[in-house]
Amino acid sequence: MSLGLSLLWVLVRGLARERAPGASPVPSIVATRAGEGAIAALGAGWWLAMGVVVSLWTSEANAVRDPALPADDWRNTMSFLYWLNFLLFVLLACTSALLLYLTRMRAGGRVPPAPPAAVAGSSGAGAGAAPHTAVNVAAPPAPVAAVPAH
């Protein structure tokens, strides 16, 4: 179930990149973020149920002091990993919800768009930077003309 949800999440991300040329990206981004959030919430619900069930079984098995049931540490580790998966899906759902909120705010003009350098992923002067902002700080000083000695 979790692998299927993760695959579905990746497919939604991939389909978000494919849109009609010239189409506004905002509706597709909003739909993608909402889809990601729904998939992540479903995954969080799945791991929550698994965490509760496995934790109950683990505590029940750990309460029995029978040599036929060794490996308490492995049961506890598996229970921990289920809860870790739950927290990761919750983090993914919260991130998707935050990005959805910011996308809607940007579409409404209430949040300024990201600077061009951050969008391009480059440092220094971006494509939209004014030419007078690029200053070469490490330029050596101009050479001084030597006065001939007499």
Give domain limits for the chain: 2-113
Question: What's the whole-number average pLDDT of the chain?
Answer: 76
> In this structure, which long-range contacts are made by residues 94-101, counting pairs with CB atoms below 8 Å and at least 24 apart in sequence?
96/33, 96/34, 96/36, 96/37, 96/40, 97/33, 97/37, 99/33, 100/30, 100/33, 100/34, 100/37
Q: How many CA atoms lie within 13 A of 83 on its CB side?
A: 12
User: What pLDDT digit, counting tens, does each position of 92-104 carry?
Assistant: 899 988 988 888 8
pLDDT at 72 over 90: no
% of residues, the chain, pLDDT over 70: 63
pLDDT band at 44 (very low <50, low <70, confident <90, very high): very high
Mean pLDDT of 46-64: 92
Residue 21's pLDDT band, with cuts at 50, 70 and 90, is low
Length of the chain: 150
Q: For residue 17, what pLDDT is reported?
A: 62
pLDDT tens by residue, 103-148: 888 877 776 666 666 555 555 554 554 544 455 555 555 566 666 6
